[in-house]
């Protein structure tokens, strides 16, 4: 797994495999942060894992943490309700991707 900066000035990793070790240290804070939100991203050749801690728009608003995974084909899974893949205990990138997919409750592409 090798870190590089892509043409859009985003931190990314190449040569990532499903068996590659997963660590919250691989996530970075994107430059753009909406006020009151905190987001983190891990962009790889296998897709992107993102974590967003934000106030929701429901009622008076409640804090939620949600994790998303977008694969290279553009399919997107979103697990909301306090789901933070960085704290999941997953040991590999493949485990982390499966964790998000198995907890996805907001966006689940047709397979």
Q: Are strands 38-44 and 11-14 parallel, antiparallel or unpaired?
A: parallel
Contacts of 82 (CB under 8 A, 6+ apart): 64, 65
How confident is the model over 4-24, as pLDDT tens digits? 999 988 999 999 999 999 999
Domain ranges in the chain are 2-103
Kindly report whether the global pTM for this prediction surpasses the value 0.85: yes
How confident is the model over 17-72, as pLDDT tens digits? 999 999 999 999 988 777 778 999 999 999 999 999 988 776 677 889 999 999 99
Residue whose entry in the numeric block shows the structure tokens 């190449």: 14
Q: Judge whether 90 and 102 are in contact, CB under 8 Å.
A: no
Q: Judge whether 19 and 46 are in contact, CB under 8 Å.
A: no
Phi, psi of 29 (to 5 degrees): -90, 115
């Amino acid at each position: 797994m090798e870190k590089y900066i892509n043409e859009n000035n985003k931190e990314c990793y190449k040569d990532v495999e499903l068996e590659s070790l997963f660590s919250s240290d691989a996530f970075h804070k994107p430059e753009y942060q909406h006020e009151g939100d905190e987001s983190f991203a891990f962009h790889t050749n296998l897709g992107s894992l993102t974590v967003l801690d934000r106030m929701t728009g429901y009622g008076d608003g409640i804090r939620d943490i949600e994790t998303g995974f977008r694969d290279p084909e553009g399919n997107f899974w979103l697990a909301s309700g306090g789901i933070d893949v960085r704290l999941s205990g997953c040991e590999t990138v493949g485990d982390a991707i499966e964790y998000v997919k198995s907890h996805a409750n907001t966006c689940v592409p047709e397979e």
